[in-house]
Amino acid sequence: MKPSLAPGLTHELRFVVPPGKTVPRLYPESPEFAAMPEVFATGFMVGFVEWACIRAIADHLDAGEMSLGVHVDLSHDAATPPGMEVVARVRLEQVDGRALLFSAEAHDERDRICAGTHRRFVVDRARFEAGVARKAG
């Protein structure tokens, strides 16, 4: 981790919600999800916030490092139909060793759709991938 990885870093990410990021497509195998309205799925919204956090710190990690999401505490406050732009704004609030805490908020073209916090942890990519390979057998 570079010394520049410090509280106060911010990032804004914009994305136009496609039909493929709506609730019915979250788990196509699920008839329960398939019957739901076509709005931005909470699962994809969480991924969108994570994406913004990853981008916020990308230039502040050393070669061979990556970050992993370890905790999510986000509301989902309003429905967003496909075709509407969403904007996530994240701020790195705390760095405790390799543990990172972000505040996050997202809006669509009309409403705040999300607010909360997200925790990530900086890891060595090769070591992490070796552990996953061992687990996979």
Query: Looking at the annotation, which residues are catalytic?
Result: 42, 50, 76
Q: Which two tokens stand for residue 101?
A: 């805490």
Q: Which two tokens stand for residue 125?
A: 């990519």
**Contact by Cβ (8 Å): 2, 67:** no
Distance, in Å, from the CA atom of 44 to the CA atom of 50, rounded to the nearest integer, reads 10
H/E stretch holding 130 reads helix 125-136
User: Looking up tokens 């900086």, which residue turns up?
Assistant: 122
